Structure 1
Amino acid sequence: MRSLNYVLTSVLLLIADGFTVHGPSAPLSASLGSSVVLPCYVDEALPVEDLEVEWRRADSETLIHLYQDGVGRPEVQQQDYHDRAHFFTEEIQLGNFSLRLDNLTAQDEGEYTCTVHSQQDFGETVAQIKDVERLLVSGSEESISAYVGEDVTLNCSVDSHITPEHIEVSWIRTDGDILVLLYENNETVPEAAHEQYRDRVEFFTAEIPKGNFSLRLKSVRTEDKGVYMCQVFAGDLSANATVVLGGLGE
């Protein structure tokens, strides 16, 4: 009888324990604009009937994504995550409830909770995103000097692993807010330049994949003297650096 009681107790404990939801063993890091997978899974497949999985921001309870009644429910996502948060739908029946988050922004840093409900049981795990790549832009600390008629380089370096297709760069002459040169949609747009600079400015195209958006200004004129700003936009982030084109000798 004692043996039977032990067996019954073991079975009841197994039922009470339900299932365990696993997550990442360490915080996740990724580059701005890239994708990251937030792990969430169970050891054995759960019945799809009555299965509900929800991902939320732990700091605000914002709903990131929901799986319910056998389908994903993107229509109930918070607006910022539309078209960015996805389940691996074919994996759900295997017990994989991981979430892929695309086009990362700095605001995506934080903790996320994956909660799994199945029949009378539930479990949850937490995933943390940290160290999303920041946008750092540097120029020249010292004033640039040149002789009239020479070519000059105005430095602008983007210290990030963001790929060029996720970046927009505008070189602006600050006194008058004049557009000197534009880079967007993964290409230079020379026709956007002000007529004063058209056909006299260019990027070092081969250097762009390395984050080098320095500007070559050809045949410098006395009226080119001034302060130039390299403005960089990537997603919701922006940063800039200035370069002073100073003494111009005859």
Structure 2
Amino acid sequence: MAVVAAVLAVGLWTLTSCQAFVLHGAPGPLTAQLGASVLLPCAADSPLPLEELEVEWRRADSGALLHLFQEGEERPESQNEAYRGRAHFVTEGFATGNYSLLLTDVNLEDVGMYMCKVYTEMDSSTVTAEIMHIERLTVAGGAVVSSYVGDEAILNCSVDSHIHPDQLEVNWRKKGQQQITVLSVKHGQIDPNSTQKDYRDRVDLFDAEITKGNFSMRLKNIRPGDQGEYICEIHSHHLSVETTTELRGLANL
């Protein structure tokens, strides 16, 4: 009897251990770009039977449901409104035990902790993923500006970013067959050698506004040849944005 009991115990342990699994998540906090996508990792050490698998992703703070996999299929109807259409399983990875979630169109409210919970009939496990930083670099300005020959015009370009303005590189260029560099800014200062000769002593920025992310350019003593489109380009490492302002309707005073 003791031998039989031992055999049964070993068999039960083997069955249970086959159903047990370990989840692996992100090795550390994640950084995402505003408006881009970020992958929230969640993977088992071995594939799990899909017919008995349930996977749910939730916000750890509010409990809001990002996405649910249940009874062999995704349940998009169960998603919280804030994540509907933005949270997607990497479904091709389910067969290999990959239950990661792709969060698209990232916004500032996505900063926080997330939980991946995986259930089978015999076991369950949880891992977390934290979005700690949202990188952002957006620019506003582009418009049509009218002025008079001999007068001045302000071409707007304002930046919103987690990056300090001193760390941004800004280039004002005039569009044409060959783009002309009108003005460049590095480390919060205008590069005096960057300005094309036709614009020297006619362009400047509002120095007191640079630390606020305002790189609007003032063009003085306007000439007929100044008419056209001007691009404000903002660069920082792997991020870049731009806006275009059109100067037109030049007439003599």
Superposition TM-score tier, normalisation by shorter sequence: 0.5 to 0.7
Q: Which runs of 5+ in 2 are unaligned?
A: 142-146, 163-225
Distance 1:214 1:158 in 2: 13
Instruction: Map 1:23-172; keep pairs closer than 5 Å.
Output: 23-134=25-136, 149-160=150-161
Contact 1:137 1:157 in 2 (8 A): yes
Contact 1:150 1:219 in 2 (8 A): no
RMSD value, Cα? 3.9
Distance 2:43 2:32 in 1: 21
Q: Does structure 1 residue 213 correspond to structure 2 residue 214? A: no
Distance 1:85 1:138 in 2: 28
Distance 2:40 2:10 in 1: 36
Q: 1:108 to 1:120 in 2, by over 3 A?
A: same
Q: 1:138 to 1:68 in 2, by over 3 A?
A: closer
Q: TM-score, normalised by structure 2?
A: 0.57
**3-state SS of paired residue (2:82):** helix
Q: CA deviation at 1:70?
A: 0.5
Q: CA deviation at 1:205?
A: 3.6
Structure 1 counterpart of 2:16: 15
Larger mean Cα displacement after TM superposition, 19-28 or 8-17:
8-17
Q: Counterpart amino acid of 2:81? A: Q
Structure 1 counterpart of 2:166: none
1:2-61 Cα shifts (integer Å, max 9, x gaps):
xx97xx679849936921111000111111000011000001111112210000000000
Structure 2 counterpart of 1:233: none
Q: 1:87 to 1:138 in 2, by over 3 A?
A: closer
Q: TM-score, normalised by structure 1?
A: 0.58
Contact 2:232 2:244 in 1 (8 A): no
1:184-209 Cα shifts (integer Å, max 9, x gaps):
xxxxxxxxxxxxxxxx9865247378
Distance 1:80 1:202 in 2: 42
Larger mean Cα displacement after TM superposition, 64-73 or 148-157:
148-157
Contact 2:115 2:127 in 1 (8 A): yes
Q: CA deviation at 1:78?
A: 0.5
Q: 1:14 to 1:151 in 2, by over 3 A?
A: farther
Distance 1:214 1:14 in 2: 66
Distance 2:24 2:228 in 1: 52
Larger gyration radius, structure 1 or structure 2? 2
Q: CA deviation at 1:148?
A: 6.4
Q: Which runs of 5+ in 1 are unaligned?
A: 140-145, 162-199, 222-249
Q: 1:78 to 1:160 in 2, by over 3 A?
A: same
